[in-house]
Structure 1
């Protein structure tokens, strides 16, 4: 396909399929089905929503577009807000913990040979 044009409001929103997630939703905007070698996804987290500590074999870049959250990556904790972005390499553990207002971010990933996600039995701690 040479190009694909759509609107976010028309893309299905489903619960994040990572075990232990709560109040977290995903929309797959651009995928390999559109001919792309990467995927663009939009995440929405309710207040106090969580995507727990996990790892996967693909790289990702996250861009916060609304709200603020705590991001645990490797063994560090960062506060992120609208306009902040982070690159997370393959096989680096990470988690997102929302604050008390709605959170939205875009996440761009590459397609790895193995797209599975492993949930870790660790909490995202820190302030």
Structure 2
């Protein structure tokens, strides 16, 4: 089984071997306390099942609390964001496209190599360049502020 990759805060472990399975990608995700995933969208459908803990999901036009046992389905090109305001790690099962798994592989860094604190500018730049190459939409600081996320 693959190791956990840090993908700008959340940690992702690919559970399906992408070279052998080209139909879908199943991943385990851990979202540490305080981690925010800014508003974004992409052409890849994602389904999240919360295995433990509670976090907040922004979809369409509002935030909602999701907890263990809840499922959040994000159709393609729907703007969404996440935040863990709790004091515990939230664990999720994520089902998406092989392409999304490949994206996480490309931007992710083995967790044990990631220094504490915010990502370095070159890490952020790499993330943005790869996201743009994949055709993903990333919200601006104003887009994020409009839904209650501060990126500063």
Q: TM tier, shorter chain? A: 0.7 to 0.9
Number of matched residues? 111
Runs of 4+ aligned structure 1 residues displaced above 2 Å come to: 114-118, 122-126
Could you tell me how far 1:115 is from its partner in structure 2?
4.8
- Structure 2 matches for 1:90-105, cutoff 5 A? 90-98=76-84, 99-105=86-92
Could you tell me how far 1:28 is from its partner in structure 2?
1.2
More helix by share: 2
- Corresponding residue for 1:110? 97
Query: 2: CA distance between counterparts of 1:25 and 1:54?
Result: 18
Q: CA 1:53–1:28 in 2, change beyond 3 Å: closer, same or farther?
A: same
Query: 2: CA distance between counterparts of 1:64 and 1:115?
Result: 26
Query: 1: CA distance between counterparts of 2:137 and 2:71?
Result: 23
- Corresponding residue for 1:14? 5
TM-score by length of 1: 0.77
Match among 139, 146, 150 for residue 120 of structure 1: 139
TM-score by length of 2: 0.65
Query: 1: CA distance between counterparts of 2:2 and 2:18?
Result: 15
More strand by share: 1
Query: 1: CA distance between counterparts of 2:52 and 2:136?
Result: 25
Match among 14, 25, 29 for residue 28 of structure 1: 14
Q: CA 1:41–1:13 in 2, change beyond 3 Å: closer, same or farther?
A: same
Query: 2: CA distance between counterparts of 1:74 and 1:56?
Result: 14
Which runs of 5 or more residues in structure 2 are unaligned?
100-132
Which runs of 5 or more residues in structure 1 are unaligned?
1-9
How large is the RMSD of aligned CA atoms in angstroms? 2.1
